[in-house]
Amino acid sequence: MENNLLTGTIPGDFVEGSKITEIFLQDNYLTGRIPVQLMNASNLNILHLENNALTGEVPVELSNLKNLVDVGIQYNNITGILPFQNCSQFETLEADCDSPEKVICECCTTCFGLFTRAGNIEGCVEGKLRLEFDVDIGQALDMSLRNTAGEWIDLFILFLQKK
């Protein structure tokens, strides 16, 4: 059901009594909260809700889904803590845990945010962002991001001084 211009809220009762293993609802115009009833889909392996207009906090019951290996909730207005303890269960776990941090995610494989792209970030831990720079002599490095805050990493400064 991805990329179908769906609107409205996600009905929670469609998983009741089912053996659903995959939910793909990304790239729509869905609103409201992630229904707690989705956490009754104990066979769920894949949950993709990214690129919608979902709001509210991540349901803590999400941690009950022990079969999840692939989750995408980025590019929504979801906040809170992704409650997973076993990070090794995930092949992919993507959320808005970069600046401005909306979700705290210790197990994320990729963090998204206002100023990041998937190709230049490595995981995320409690809102810290690790940027990788591959700059050769003679190349330009544009660091003209606006509305950012924080300290420059000392190693990055040393890297630039060597160039």
- Strands, sheet with 46-48, edge to edge from the N-terminal-most edge strand: 22-24, 46-48, 70-72, 92-95, 110-111
User: 83: helix, coil or strand?
Assistant: coil
Label the pairing between strands 29-32 and 92-95.
unpaired
Q: Rg of the chain's alpha carbons, rounded to an integer?
A: 18
Whether 156 has a pLDDT exceeding 70, the answer reads no
Rounded to a whole number of angstroms, the distance between the first and last alpha carbons of the chain is 49
Whether 2 has a pLDDT exceeding 80, the answer reads no
Q: How many residues does the chain have?
A: 163
Q: Percentage of residues in the chain with pLDDT exceeding 90?
A: 39
This prediction's pTM = 0.69
Question: What domains are defined for the chain?
Answer: 7-162 (3.80.10)
**pLDDT tens digits for 43-75?**
999 999 999 999 999 999 998 999 999 999 999
